[in-house]
Structure formats: C-alpha cells, structure tokens
Structure 1
Amino acid sequence: MSDDQRFGLSRTVTLPGPLRLDGGALLSPVDIAYETYGTLNADASNAILVCHALTGDQHVASEHPVTKKPGWWTKLIGPGKPIDPARHFVVCANVLGSCMGSSGPATINPATGQPWGMSFPVITIRDMVGAQALLLTHLGVERLQAVVGGSMGGMQALSWAATFPERVASAVVIASTARHSAQNIAFHEVGRQAIMADPNWRDGDYYASGEPPTAGLAVARMAAHITYLSEAGLTAKFGRKLQARESKTFGFDADFQVESYLRHQGLSFTDRFDANSYLYITRALDYFDLAEEHGGVLANAFKGAATRFCLVSFDTDWLYPTSESRAIVHALNAAGAPASFVELKSPFGHDAFLLDAPEMNRVIDGFLRAGEKK
C-alpha cells in the first residue's frame, strides 16, 4: 500500500447526474471533491464514510491546503486509531453547497460560464447525502461498513440510514440532532443577516470583484463559534482576563481576551470559507427535520432498518444537548433498530467531539470492531 493510498488521496470528480434535489431542481453535472484513505478490500465491505460538520471539509486526516493545519479529525482517524486506513477504506467528501471543490455557489454554472452565486439551488441534508451516494457508487461502494459524523455530519449519518438503509451497516452519530430547533435557526439567521448586511455581499455576486463580504462572514463565524463552546469552558480559558493590557481602555477595542479570541476566529475563518456557502449550508441545517420527512414521526425514518446505531452526546453541549440524542434513541427503540447510547463528560461543549476525547474513541472503536466480527 503506497503512502498516498494509506494516508490521504485528494480528488475531484464530475458526475453526470442528474441529482434531483428536495427543492425540485435537477442538478447536473455534480462536482464532488473528496479524499480517500486506505484501500477498498476485495468484496468492498470495509468502506467508512466520514461526514463533516458545517465548516468542515474533505481534509479529515490530512493537511488543509489553505491553513496548512492537520486534518480536523486526526484524533479519530489514522494508524492505530478507531478508523484506521490499515483496516478501512475511508471516504470523506466535501458536502454539496460547500466551497472546497464540490458543486456550490462558488463553482461555475455550466449554463452561464460564471459562478452560480445565489442562483445555485437551495439544498438540504438529504441532498448532500444523495450526492455522496453518487460518489460511493462511482467508487464501487454499494454498502458502507459505517457512516460516521459529528454535528452536521451526524445529521448526514442519520439521513443516510433513513434514505439508503440497505447501503448502511452501521451509523455513528455524535453530538447531533434529528432536527434543528428554533434556537439553532435563530443563531443561524443572525449570521446570515450579518453576511447580507455587508456592502461587499452584493446579493451574492462578489466573485469577480475580488472583495468578498469578509466582515459579515467574520461576525457570522463569531456568533456561531460561541454556540460550539460551553460557559464553563469559556470561563476556565478566559474568564474576565484582559487582553495584553493592565486596565480597561474605556473604548471599544478588544479589552477582554475572549473578545480577541472571537475576533481571531472570525477573521481566520474568512481565509478558508465562502460567504455564500455559509448561507446555503446553514439553511440546509435549518431545514433538517427527519421526522417531518417521514410523516411527522421520527421512528418512521428507521422502520425495518437493519442498520446498527451508536449515539454519543456530551454533557456540556447546549447546541445539540443530550436530550436530542435521547429523542433519537427513543425513536430507534420504537422502530426496533439496534442502538447504543452514551453521554460523555467534557468541559468543551459542542466542540468536544473534535478535541481530545479518549472515551469517545474507545466507544467508537468498540462499536466498529463489534460490527466487523459479524
């Protein structure tokens, strides 16, 4: 096995489609940027699809080409880790609507030769899953050993099990939910309005100008980032400590360390993400309601499914609290689907699934290995 096969190979594929979207549009062709790790075995039974969160991408376990930082889930994926390229063929695709090579508002509309901008069709989580299904078929994977994701990635994992149950042996759903709450939608609307209020947004037609709405996107990221943390974590890390000064300035500079931290998070985000993609993906999250897609009853989404489920939540996650995971477990039980669930302790809030979480790794490793024995 060569190093590029084992530790990450980046590709972009253009598939003819058409992909019928939930909003009624037909998307054709469909560009999908993805990375693979490991090798597909002879009977194509060792494939694991890893689904990324809102601002994630396909660079799950390899260096990001823009930031030069390590992959966003190297704590879970790699040699000797629960998802191991020595055992698994790992696929991670940039979601539909995003900005790292998959079809989205920043890509070229073949009908016009110009970026789609806001003429790109509005998408859903189920549309993202449909695009991934096209990719896996292209790669020769008809059935997944597992689909794994946290946050929005967990929503995709749930949607995979509900939409293509015959193609999913196991699903790992971490720090996620089966539907976006009113509070979640409210936070996203603040971010979208910040972007659209930026004069550089120009109704989404800013690509030719070379002046994207970075100020609005930075504010959107700042607001969202607060929801990924816990109050206890913020207090422990920053408290009311001042930023590189002995006293308050009695002005509106970043007097407090937490202010400086959020400003840095916002500005650095604009280097790697597209503002229009942020609008589209947050809207897809807001539209997500798995029960609504199945007659208003969540259990209906999983009836007759042979998929095994593992759900993990964190006690300080207030974005997608443990109660949301329990609601999914109750629906799985009602549908007769095999499910395991654990709430883990962490001071890091929603972001805990991306940080050092040895207990989470042990849970996922045990769950995946149990499935491999069958």
Structure 2
Amino acid sequence: MKEKNSVGIVKPQIFVCKNPLQLDSGVMLNEYELTYETYGKLNTKRDNAVLVCHALSGNHHLAGRYSNQDKHPGWWDSLIGPNKPLDTNKFFVIGVNNLGGSHGSTGPKSINPKTKKAWGSKFPIVTIQDWVNSQNELIKFLGISQLAGVLGGSLGGMQAMQWSIQYPDKLKHSIVIAAAPNLTAQNIAFNQVARQAIVTDSDFNKGDYYKSGVTPRAGLRIARMLGHITYLSDDVMGAKFGRRIKNSNYQYNLDTEFEIESYLNYQGDKFANEFDANTYIRMTKALDYYDPTKGNKKKLSTVFKGIQSKFLIISFTSDWRFSPKRSREIVKALLDNNINVSYAELTASSGHDAFLMSDEKYHNILRSYFQRMLGAK
C-alpha cells in the first residue's frame, strides 16, 4: 500500500568527481565519490532545485524508503514529499552524504587508491567549506547553475549559511534552522568529550581498526549517549521519562534501573551499529572549526557583505545547544547589510531536536516560505 504524500521507493546514486579537491587542511583529493538521492523533477528552467544539507549523524536519505520492508523512512520524511512543506510536486530536492561520511561517500572506511587499503586514520580532516565545494561539484554535474535554495538544520544550517558566503550567486534562498555562526566553548567541550570516549576505546587502534574486524563500539556508544542528552531539553526528558523505573522497585545493583538509562542505552547501541567512529570524529571537528569570522563575531556583518540570497532563520526556545541568541546574531549581521531575512523563534519543548519534529506551526512557516520561493499563491 502506497503511503500518503510519500516520495515512495527511492534509490541512492553515486557521483564520481574527478576534479581534484583542495581541502582546507592542505590535502588534495584527486578523486572522490558522493552518494546522493533526488526527489521530484527538475523543471525545464532548471531553477526549482533545493539542496538539503544534513547534520552530524544524518546522511543523503532524506525521504521515502528503499523497500516496502523498511521500518523507517528517510530522516526528514515528515518535511519532504508530495504536498508536504517541501513539496516534491514543485521542487527538485537533493540530499547528499557529505565527504568523509559513513553512508557511501568517500570517507575513512573507503579504499585509499594509493595504498589499496582503507583510509582509516589517514583520511584528512574535512571542513564545512570543503563540503560546500564538493556539493557544488555535484550541483554542476546535475546541470544546475543556480539553486532555488539550500536548507539545513544544526550542522546542516551552517552549510546552508556557508553556501551563501562561498557561492553567493549560486542560490536564491538560504534556510538556516537551529544553527549558529560558530560553536561556543561549551559546545566544543561536549564534542571533545565525545571524541575522547572514542579515541580512548581500546578497539580504536588510532583510527585503523577496520583491518582488525572490530570497532570502538563502547566509545561510540558513550559519544552518542552524551550527544542525545544535549539534543533534548530538561522539560522533554522529564515529560518522556521523569524518574520512572523499569521494575516496580529498586534492584540495588549496577543494572539499568531508570527508563532514561534504558533510552540512552538503546540510542547508543543503535548508533554504534550504524555509524563509523572515524566519521563521527571528523564531523565534530568540522563543527568545531567552523567560524566564518575567524574568531571575531564583530566581523560577521563584514563576512556577509557579499551575500545575495534571501534568508529564513528559525530557532527554538528550548534549544540550549544552539540557542535563539545565536540565530539572532546571524539575523543582525544580515540586517546590517540590508539582506532580506525572515526570522521565527518558535516555542518548543524538544530542545535541539525540535528542528526534526513535525510541529504544525513550524511546518507551516516552512511551507509558506517555500511557496513564496516559487511565487506560488
């Protein structure tokens, strides 16, 4: 049975780029692959394409399913599809797994053409600027000279913002959700603790664990559990779990007692089975390094001087990891340059994860903005 308003069964594709990519680290990648998916159709003017950039643990699989047996659809299926806010009857939507990712794009577990072995620890650190450059190569391959928009939440929002800085004439709209112009010291600290959990795992082997057939599962579990704590607000954790316990009475041992413990264990186990630890480390480093002002927030207005796209910025009141204050910094810098920007600060209890939720008011704002992008009434 076909799901209502679903893009249906989808299939990933692979883009092989043979144009050398100079990374910010100084490393040159002579060739690389990006795994991507598309939904909807590119119109005859080729001006209805929207690139969706993923966050830390995301990938190219935005919507639909790979088979009828798939338990879950793509990670932003609630937003993308026929008659959904990002309507695939009107837009050609592109999702790409970033360079260094663990879902098919060239990354640490890929084979290094020089050594004929997995890159492992030798895979270079990749920045948001590098991702945008590689995404631009894909966009050119698809025959698109200008994107209708670039959309992203969290780390994806940083990429959407960087697109407007790096390729100002190649997009008309930038939709930045639950993001920031750079990370605070507290955010960098969380990322460092997560990385240390991984690199101190005895199975990490300095990043060269593929040949041994084991993975730093324990460290990756802890990293993900820590991340989940920061993605949720105290209110939503209290509402979902409170102090509820699994059994009728305390067991007075070291086993899992509270429901919140069980939830974190489940999330950690699930993630450790699906994600590559080397990729996780590099994704967090890309977050840490991103700072278009080079450490001086007074310069954000200067950095934005060349921007040509219009903006929609959305933040959530309970998001303490990327707070509304950080979004307002972006809004101010845009206004300093008389750039067209719409801003919505939404009341939500879900914390940072609110950008993934199916909130009606949130989705209506996005729907309205996307409709205006194409001049629809």
- Residue aligning to 1:74: 77
- Report deviation, 1:304: 3.3
Superposed counterparts of 1:15-94, under 5 Å: 15-63=17-65, 68-94=71-97
- Residue aligning to 2:292: 290
Matching of residue 95 in structure 1 with residue 101 in structure 2:
no
Superposed counterparts of 1:268-347, under 5 Å: 268-292=270-294, 297-347=299-349
TM-score of the superposition, structure 1-length normalised?
Answer: 0.95
- Report deviation, 1:367: 1.3
CA distance in 2, matches of 1:26, 1:42: 36
- Report deviation, 1:7: 6.0
CA distance in 2, matches of 1:295, 1:28: 35
Report the aligned-residue RMSD.
Answer: 2.0
Matching residue within 241, 265, 268 for 2:267 = 265
- Report deviation, 1:246: 1.6
- Report deviation, 1:260: 0.7
Superposed counterparts of 1:328-367, under 5 Å: 328-367=330-369
CA distance in 2, matches of 1:246, 1:345: 35
1:306-345 alpha-carbon deviations (Å, 9 max, x no partner): 2000000001000100000000000001122110101111
Aligned 8 A contact 2:153 2:177 in 1? yes
How many corresponding residue pairs?
A: 371
Identity of aligned residues (%): 42
Aligned 8 A contact 1:99 1:273 in 2? yes
Of 59-68 and 191-200, more deviation after overlay is shown by 59-68
- Report deviation, 1:85: 1.5
Secondary structure at 1:303's aligned position in 2?
A: helix
Superposed counterparts of 1:146-225, under 5 Å: 146-225=149-228
- Residue aligning to 1:110: 113
- Report deviation, 1:299: 1.4
Ranges in structure 1 where 5+ consecutive residues have no aligned partner: none
Of 347-356 and 362-371, more deviation after overlay is shown by 362-371
Q: What is the letter of the counterpart of residue 334 of structure 2?
A: L
CA distance in 1, matches of 2:274, 2:61: 12
- Report deviation, 1:295: 9.3
Matching residue within 235, 239, 256 for 1:232 = 235
Secondary structure at 1:149's aligned position in 2?
A: strand
Matching residue within 255, 258, 268 for 2:257 = 255
CA distance in 2, matches of 1:5, 1:251: 48
- Report deviation, 1:293: 8.3
- Residue aligning to 2:248: 246
CA distance in 2, matches of 1:64, 1:122: 31
CA distance in 2, matches of 1:17, 1:191: 34
Matching residue within 128, 132, 143 for 2:131 = 128
1:150-199 alpha-carbon deviations (Å, 9 max, x no partner): 01110000010110010010011011111011111100111100011111
Aligned 8 A contact 1:150 1:176 in 2? yes
- Report deviation, 1:29: 0.4
1:193-221 alpha-carbon deviations (Å, 9 max, x no partner): 00111111101111122211111100000
Using a 3 Å threshold, how does the CA distance of structure 1 residues 300 and 30 change in structure 2: closer, same or farther?
A: farther
CA distance in 2, matches of 1:151, 1:129: 15
Using a 3 Å threshold, how does the CA distance of structure 1 residues 46 and 293 change in structure 2: closer, same or farther?
A: farther
1:39-59 alpha-carbon deviations (Å, 9 max, x no partner): 111111000001111000101
CA distance in 2, matches of 1:275, 1:190: 14
Ranges in structure 2 where 5+ consecutive residues have no aligned partner: none
Q: What is the letter of the counterpart of residue 109 of structure 1?
A: N
Secondary structure at 1:309's aligned position in 2?
A: strand
Aligned 8 A contact 1:302 1:335 in 2? yes
CA distance in 2, matches of 1:300, 1:74: 37
CA distance in 1, matches of 2:82, 2:7: 13
Using a 3 Å threshold, how does the CA distance of structure 1 residues 87 and 8 change in structure 2: closer, same or farther?
A: farther
TM-score of the superposition, structure 2-length normalised?
Answer: 0.95
- Report deviation, 1:94: 0.3
- Report deviation, 1:9: 3.6
Aligned 8 A contact 1:96 1:128 in 2? yes
